[in-house]
């Protein structure tokens, strides 16, 4: 959520940022509603001043022995007027907040301006692309041939975009999770084992609600939502709290299953496990001082990259343009891993700096050195998506005989599995 003072004082900057994002946002409705709120607030304040002035006047009249009955009648009417206006103010404030929650974050000045993913910028490319003179298979075919991916039974149990991962495949998934967590814990992250269902205000804090409700799974009876990412939990761990500046940065990591309806992705990646309703992910979140967030963003990106480097998977780093930024992000790097079957790089991690956008929504502050209270900055990154990492290993590490060799760095986490097939 943006600072309302920024919208009041620099409306053209906010309008320009939304225009550069190529997104729809009710900025004019918000500006008008804020003006209405301020007008009513001014009326309330004037009535309070009038009440105080009349009280003094009545006291003086009584001292002077004058008839104060007309003024007393006037004074009695003021509290009812104030009460009615305060109720109006409360309603308007709720309407204003509703508009505020739909305004996206403002991109950093360093973010390239562009309309969509075609105008993202390649920062660097890492690793040599594999060559397959024998004709490479995609992960769907490899998974079926090796007996580790069962799409038919997954669909039988739960419908499309659900998959059974079996035998060595299950062991690889478990090994990848432990491998990633080991790296991140060594790099100073505190592991969290969080709940998978949260209250709506928690999703509002990180920006999934109200804008992206159609992508969420909701438990109607309990009023809870299944998490679409553990960023939701980690970034809200300190919601409503005031931290001390010496505590920052705070670094958290978590493995969780994640749940998304993929409501806007019908027809995309229907083959295989790239886009599922239930998927596994290791997530990283940093809660930092504002002056540290740019440097911590680079550190966060390096932490996510380390996973791919150690697995020796070819990848590239992409800086997202304004038109491709996520709703709550002010700057994002994507890590894209090479998939031989598609002959292109595909996203495996998104590393974002949200500035104070989420902290304002979740009310997370810190006491600075001068005892002033300020909002923290929050950053998040996949560290990385487990299913897509499995896809990348199957496709990049396949052999001519149909087997798949495991990356050396992963072997200590696989209980003796060096290859499958």
- Catalytic (active-site) positions: 260, 275, 347, 350, 388
Q: Measured between alpha carbons, how far is residue 339 from residues 45, 168, 286, 396 in Å?
A: 63, 21, 29, 7
Q: Tell me whether residue 15 is exposed, middle or buried, using C-beta atoms within 10 angstroms of its C-beta: 0 to 12, 13 to 18, 19 or more.
A: middle
406 touches 413 (CB < 8 A) = no
Residues 6+ apart with CB under 8 A from 103: 1, 2, 7, 14, 18, 25, 26, 27, 30
Q: How many angstroms separate the Cα of 225 from the Cα of each of 35, 203, 215, 285?
A: 34, 8, 11, 20
Terminal Cα-to-Cα distance of the chain (whole angstroms): 51
Strand pairing partners for 350? 334
**Which residue, among 57, 56, 54, has the nearest Cα to 82 in the 3D structure?**
54
Which pairing describes strands 250-259 and 190-191: parallel, antiparallel, or unpaired? parallel
Q: Among 376, 327, 334, which residue's Cα sits nearest to residue 355?
A: 376
Beta strands in 289-376 (DSSP E): 315-319, 331-339, 344-353, 365-367, 373-375
CB 169 within 8 A of CB 143: yes
Closest CA to 32 of 91, 88, 99: 99
Contacts of 284 (CB under 8 A, 6+ apart): 184, 189, 251, 252, 253, 300, 303, 304, 380, 381, 382, 383
The Cα–Cα gap between 268 and 286 comes to: 31
Find out whether 58 and 68 touch, Cβ atoms under 8 Å.
Answer: yes
Collapsing DSSP to helix, strand or coil, 203 comes out as helix
């Amino acid at each position: 959520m943006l600072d309302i003072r920024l919208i009041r004082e620099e409306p053209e900057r906010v309008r320009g940022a939304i225009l550069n994002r190529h997104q729809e946002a009710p900025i004019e409705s918000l500006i008008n509603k804020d003006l209405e709120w301020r007008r009513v607030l001014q009326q309330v304040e004037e009535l309070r001043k009038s009440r105080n002035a009349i009280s003094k006047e009545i006291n003086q009249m009584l001292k002077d022995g004058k008839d104060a009955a007309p003024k007393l009648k006037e004074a009695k009417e003021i509290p009812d007027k104030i009460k009615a206006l305060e109720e109006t103010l409360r309603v308007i404030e709720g309407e204003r907040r509703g508009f505020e929650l739909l305004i996206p974050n403002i991109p950093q000045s360093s973010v390239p301006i562009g309309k969509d993913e075609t105008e993202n910028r390649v920062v660097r490319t890492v690793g040599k692309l594999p060559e397959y003179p024998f004709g490479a298979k995609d992960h769907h075919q490899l998974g079926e041939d090796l007996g580790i991916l069962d799409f038919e039974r997954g669909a039988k149990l739960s419908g499309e975009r659900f998959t059974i991962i079996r035998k060595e495949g299950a062991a690889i998934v478990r090994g990848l999770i432990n491998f990633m967590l080991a790296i991140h814990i060594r790099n100073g992250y505190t592991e969290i084992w969080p709940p998978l269902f949260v209250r709506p205000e928690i999703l509002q804090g990180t920006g999934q609600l109200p804008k992206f409700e159609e992508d969420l799974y909701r438990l109607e009876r309990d009023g809870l939502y299944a998490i679409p990412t553990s960023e939701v939990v980690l970034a809200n761990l300190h919601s409503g709290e005031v931290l001390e500046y010496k505590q920052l940065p705070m670094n958290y990591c978590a493995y969780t299953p994640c749940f998304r309806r993929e409501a806007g992705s019908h027809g995309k990646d229907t083959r295989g496990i790239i886009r599922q309703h239930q998927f596994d992910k290791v997530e990283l979140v940093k809660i930092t001082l504002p002056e540290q967030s740019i440097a911590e963003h680079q550190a966060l990106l390096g932490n996510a990259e380390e996973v791919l480097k150690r697995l020796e998977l070819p990848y590239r780093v992409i800086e997202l343009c304004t038109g491709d930024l996520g709703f709550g992000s002010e700057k994002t790097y994507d890590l894209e891993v090479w998939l031989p079957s598609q002959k292109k790089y595909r996203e495996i991690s998104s590393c974002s700096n949200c500035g104070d956008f989420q902290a304002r929504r979740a009310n997370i502050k810190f006491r600075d050195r001068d005892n002033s209270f300020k909002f923290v900055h929050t950053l998040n990154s996949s560290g990385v998506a487990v299913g897509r990492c499995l896809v990348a290993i199957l496709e990049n590490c396949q052999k001519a005989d149909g087997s798949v060799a495991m990356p050396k760095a992963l072997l200590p986490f696989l209980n003796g599995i060096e290859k499958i097939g």
